[in-house]
């Protein structure tokens, strides 16, 4: 059964909350990777064809945002400024 756009938005909000929780608890790269894998696997059958482009765009944006957070935590902010 395909999810509505609102349900997909909720899934991304849950992912963000989970990643922020991992961040405050000492981010494990494996744990964050598993969280993203769950989102990728969700897309196989639950995202309607007309929402797939939007879905993948949101997923890539979430990955980019997570990379920025990890770099900031590691003190690699100088890379973000260039």
- Is 56 in contact with 43 (CB distance < 8 Å)? yes
Residue 68 has pLDDT above 80, yes or no: no
What residues does each domain of the chain span? Answer: 5-81
Eight-class DSSP state of 47:
S
Q: Write down the H helix ranges in 25-74.
A: 29-46, 52-73
Q: What is the pLDDT of residue 27?
A: 65
Q: pLDDT, tens digit, for every residue of 17-43?
A: 888 888 777 766 777 778 878 877 776
Residue 67 has pLDDT above 80, yes or no: no
In angstroms, what is the C-alpha Rg of the chain? 14
Q: What is the pLDDT of residue 43?
A: 60
């Amino acid at each position: 059964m395909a999810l509505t756009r609102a349900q997909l938005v909720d899934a991304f909000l849950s992912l963000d909350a989970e990643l922020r929780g991992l961040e405050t608890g000492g981010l494990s790269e494996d744990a964050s990777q598993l969280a993203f894998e769950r989102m990728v696997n969700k897309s196989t059958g639950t995202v309607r064809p007309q929402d797939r482009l939007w879905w993948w765009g949101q997923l890539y944006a979430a990955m980019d945002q997570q990379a920025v957070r990890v770099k900031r935590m590691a003190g690699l902010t100088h890379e973000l400024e260039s």
